[in-house]
Amino acid sequence: MLTGYLPILIALLIIVLPLVWMVSSSFKPVNEIVTLTPQLLPQEVTTANYATVDRRIPLMTVLQNSLIVTSVGSIIKVLLAITTAYALVYIRVPGANLIFLGILVALMVPPEVSMLPNFMTIEALGGRNTLWGIILPGLGTAFGTFLLRQHFKSLPKELFEAAELDGAGHFRKLFQIAVPVSLPAISTVSLVTIVNEWNSFLWPLIITDTRDRMTLPVALNQLRSVEDQVSSYGILMAGAVLVIVPMLIIFAMLQRYIVSGLTQGAVK
């Protein structure tokens, strides 16, 4: 019994302890951060670190930016993924497979590769330091399209027969039949997209340099360069809590969908 639990316990501690340390340190006053005899839990709980984060970066604005980018970006991406996947599976046109192959190759291109030309494009369009400039280049979705296409292909044809006899068009077939029966797959795509948008760092970092246009990860990176003393770690941990804990909560509640989406291709 013990031999089974001990390795799991060690693995769990290695994963969980840094996160516990983060939360605990974010509530510690400075003297408990710079001490040479640190305790796991704060002796005197304070929210001063969070207040300092709010003074250094316009926290409410930055949070709002992150929420807008995440929600608008995710909604559009998921909608595009649904309609594209539907078109690829149910609207017969010559060359559709070639288009699908083109989308798959796009899945392979990391954002670092397209970063510089996209910066030129968005700058030319006047999108620097704007929320649409942050959202736009990431909207084309290969991942969601791929995942939903696989799913739509697995739907039985009989599902649509009654609707076809009624003379339903593609819009009705998509939104009244395909979408309602595919909610688990759509949830998976949505959650993975939300997680990615919220955590996204490289592109917002490049395209914003004024504080009230930054997303949370970019603002935290700036906080790090301002608060570079040993005594600042409590403040940095408060920042880390703000970006990490929302995703931890979403993950804890909906992990089944997220894990299946992220391990798609490996785990059937």
Cβ–Cβ under 8 Å, residues 237 and 245: no
Sign of the Cα pseudo-torsion (145, 149, 155, 157, in order): positive
Query: Which CB atom, from 93 or from 165, has the smaller least distance to another protein?
Result: 93
CA atoms within 13 A on the CB side of 258: 15
Query: Which CB atom, from 22 or from 186, has the smaller least distance to another protein?
Result: 22
Q: Which residue in 38, 43, 45, 71 binds another protein (CB under 8 A)? A: 38
Query: x/- string (CB under 8 A) for another protein, residues 85-124?
Result: -xxx--xxxx-xx-xxxxxxxxxxxxxxxxxxxx-xx---
Decide if residue 224 touches another protein (CB under 8 A): yes
For the segment 146-165, give every residue that binds another protein (CB under 8 A).
146-147, 150, 153
Q: Which residue in 78, 134, 136, 185 binds another protein (CB under 8 A)? A: 136
**From the CB of 45, what's the least distance to another protein, in Å?**
18
For the segment 162-221, give every residue that binds another protein (CB under 8 A).
170, 174, 192, 195-196, 198-199, 201-202, 205-206, 217, 220-221
Query: Which CB atom, from 88 or from 185, has the smaller least distance to another protein?
Result: 88
Give me 34's structure tokens: 């710079």
CA atoms within 13 A on the CB side of 11: 5
**Interatomic CA distance for residues 12 and 20, integer angstroms:** 12
Neighbours of 244 (CB within 10 A): 15
Q: Which part of the chain contacts another protein (CB under 8 A), choosing from 30-38, 41-49, 56-64, 127-135?
A: 30-38
> Longest Cα pair distance anywhere in the chain, in angstroms?
77
Q: Tell me which residue of 28, 33, 23, 61 sits closest to 47, measured CA to CA.
A: 28
- Side chain identity at residue 8, one-letter code: I
For the segment 47-66, give every residue that binds another protein (CB under 8 A).
none
